[in-house]
Amino acid sequence: MSYKNLLGSIENTEKAIKSVKDMFQNNLSAQLALLRVTAPMIVLSNTGLNDELNGVERPVGFPIKDMGEQRAEVVHSLAKWKRLKLAQLGVEPGRGIYTDMNALRPDEHLDNLHSIYVDQWDWEKVIRKEERNLDFLKKTVRRIYEAIKVTENKIFVEYPQIEPQLSDEIHFIHSEELLQMYPDLSAKQREDEIVRKWGAVFIIGIGAPLSNGQAHDSRAADYDDWSTINSDGYCGLNGDLLLWNSVLEEAFEISSMGIRVDESALKLQLALRGEEYKESLMFHSKLLAGELPYTIGGGIGQSRLCMFLLRKAHIGEVQSSIWPEEMRSECKSQGIELL
């Protein structure tokens, strides 16, 4: 890979990071009618609030001395906390919240795209039950994509050396359709092929097994709805937003999002995963009792978006984290300055 830091110095990079973050969160809030709220870094264990990601990652946990040694854990994301917050605030359909989410994922495999430290805009919006459909999902994805495009254009005004690359429109495809197009490729290879072709793609249906018996990627059972049959006849009201990264020359995931489970989808998905015991946890019991609103939501990687819009080759160029010494040395030899 031949890499050139278009911003030159770390100082310019730091200024540009702030510009991206300030611009995008304002654009996102305007597109989706979101209120910024304060969010926790820790939640109590055994409440069902923490995101279990793929179900194997270990959260960072510790006992709280002044609370009878109750255990708390650093969040993986706020996928379920946001829905509870919307209920507490009494937010009406058509409006929602977003927050700066900071997480620790110590089991992450460290490379130029993955860090122990995770920062994202976690957002959630209240919807009506009749809006739990594919058309509404696509409409929301297009709004998020527009917020990214507006931000890219504004960055170009400030930094003319970073020319806009995003396509005018985003392409939608179901993960089963993608499998049928490229049956001999892995999921990651299928992503590369379709995103290379279209530039910006939203892959629908992440979590349910496809015709080859494998899911395109893993999803927990208790936030995204990946089991409901949508209007195209396929499973899933969720997906991933991917952009073509011209620096790395590969598909680049910016966001995972979806319409959240209702009562029936939660029961079905817990049963499919053999996790019926979760029905008694605080979050899950409230949802099954109809005490939580219907929502759509997701996470948009802050460092990921900065990395993409500023044409960086390593996520460590836009966030400060811990890296193996050999990685630092390799990056330095290629002109990549880690913060």
**Token code pair at residue 69:** 């040694």
Active-site residue, from 253, 275, 330, 337: 253
DSSP-assigned letters across all residues of 148-215: HHHHHHHHHHH-TTS-----SS-EEEEHHHHHHHSTTS-HHHHHHHHHHHHSEEEEE--SSB-TTSSB
Please count the other Cβ atoms lying within 10 Å of the Cβ belonging to residue 107.
13
Active site (annotated) includes residue 14: no
C-alpha distances (whole Å) from 218 to each of 177, 201, 240, 246, 318 are 18, 18, 11, 26, 27
**Of the residues 120, 269, 302, 319, which is catalytic?**
120
SS3 14: helix
- Contacts of the segment 183-187: beta carbons below 8 A, 24+ positions apart: 183/212, 187/214, 187/216, 187/217
Active site residue 120: yes
The reply to whether 142 belongs to the active site is no
Among residues 124, 240, 262, 317, the one annotated as catalytic is: 240
Q: Which of 19, 83, 105, 124 is catalytic?
A: 105
- Per annotation, catalytic residue among 256, 269, 302, 319: 256
- One-letter identity of residue 333: S
**DSSP, res 233:** S
How many CB atoms within 10 Å of residue 69?
9
Of residues 29, 51, 302, 311, which has the active-site annotation?
51
Closest Cα partner for 253 from 296, 182, 162, 315?
A: 315
168 tagged catalytic:
no
Q: Is 105 a catalytic residue?
A: yes
Confirm whether 232 is a catalytic residue: no
Assess contact for 81 and 43: CB atoms under 8 A.
Answer: yes
The residues that are catalytic are 51, 105, 120, 240, 253, 256
